[in-house]
Chain A
């Protein structure tokens, strides 16, 4: 009886989120799936003829003369670069975000919300304008280079703008709050008495960090990494502006298929392939976490 009631209330709690996402997320996903196995319509859209060409096109291209399939690595290399950038940005955001979240979580209780607000406030401004401001900062004659030269760390300006380094910086900047906030939510609840116990058992601060704090912050780390990695994978406005736009990102490549390339099925297929990749990574992670959890338990 009790479990039945628990099940019912659980269903009621889940209902709003599931209803909204089923309607505005999963249903469109179904539409995307259908699009991906049709043929491109003239001037955009789809025409209702079944075809798997969109998926074939991802790895192969048809030779115009004899219609044989040849391997084509162009899309794969675009995927690889985007994944690399998103991974790097996630790592960077974690390295910078963890101390920041810890810093906030260890402020006096009444100050913490103010700090959280301070972290998100810059993102109330528009992304494009913010990125232009970043352009000015990391230019050859921008603030960063000028101050580094002033201090005497470098004698020639570092050429950061329009390189992959600029893209990294931009992505970390854009997604830092997505790392810091979930981390904070999970660090803030750590019972500080555990640290004391940790010091008694392990002594060193790094050991306490590794063996006490990090394991306890794990849900926050996972949440933060997911919120940085996945959106970072699809990002393209920041990478294009800071990277100079000479290379395609996945997000841009897919968006193009719905624009001037007029190939909706291929855009849909590429998006689904991307989604499958992301889901595989998440599943692998969940399994690894599950094993570790059992080992610890």
Chain B
């Protein structure tokens, strides 16, 4: 690997005139069949979502047998205070957990990959990834015992426990992409910035953070979906009034799931698509 980077470094000055080289680079990146696989994956990821959305308009109370078109489940979902509350709780917890986990994970990734190896690095890595390696139900039961002890000692209740638990199991998911991004990344740019008398904070904000951004974004997105879909830990730890959407749905299985859930899911996806499109549009406008 070392010889390749050496070769590349030697080559760079020759890249000379910009536009033809660029065109060639485009070409170089194309791998046979890769785009086809990627498109197939994306279609496959969305196929169930299409079915899910279609059934949110089912007149029948079944999520598996289509009868005819109707808005009734959207009306029902809007009227259903429990389901609205559950969706809101889910989003709230996911937002806090994503933020907390991403910040903590990014810091931890910086500490474990920048600079020389240090004693205890392997241990630190092991601890950060610990929530991954033990089945959820066991963590859930043990955390339940721990939290109820804390509640008894302090008398403090509230949704904070649930947010803390979510933050913990989101950390490895946010950590992995950031670390993957940081590994093998040279310190040259930061050193250059430091040489130019930038303060460590400015170096971080203007150099390291932009370099890291794709990893952080990937980690945050994973953390968000992991928190949003968690069932077991939430089920065990949630207190009064802290029902999340997955818990609501889990409880509904035995009595049959209705397209109301599809309607809520559709709304959630629709709203997030709108928000993201808006964000991109604003970004483009600002760039102009």
Contacts and interface: CB of A to CB of B under 8 A. Distances in A.
Q: Do chains A and B touch in the complex (CB under 8 A)?
A: yes
A192 B25 contact: yes
B180 A220 contact: yes
Contacts of B138: 28, 32, 254, 258, 267-268, 271
Q: Interface size class for chain A?
A: 35 or more
B278 interface: no
B197 interface: no
Nearest to B139: A28
Most buried by B among A11, A227, A286: A227
B269 A124 contact: yes
Given A124-B228, A125-B52, A197-B11, A297 B261 contact: no
Interface string A193-216: 111111111000100010110011
Interface in A8-32: 10-11, 13-14, 16-18, 20-29, 31-32
A255 B139 CA distance: 11
Chain B at the A interface: SS class: helix
B272 A200 contact: no
Interface in A272-293: 272, 274-275, 278-279, 286
A188 B257 CA distance: 41
A91 interface: no
Contacts of A88: none
A71 interface: no
Contacts of B177: 181-182, 184-185, 220, 223
A129 B249 contact: yes
A17 B171 contact: yes
A186 interface: yes
Contact of A27 (B28, B146, B272): B146
A237 B210 CA distance: 38
Nearest to B24: A196
Given A21-B128, A22-B127, A122-B45, 13 more contacts: A6-B115, A26-B127, A114-B276, A117-B221, A121-B272, A128-B257, A173-B45, A186-B180, A189-B185, A224-B180, A251-B135, A251-B137, A255-B137
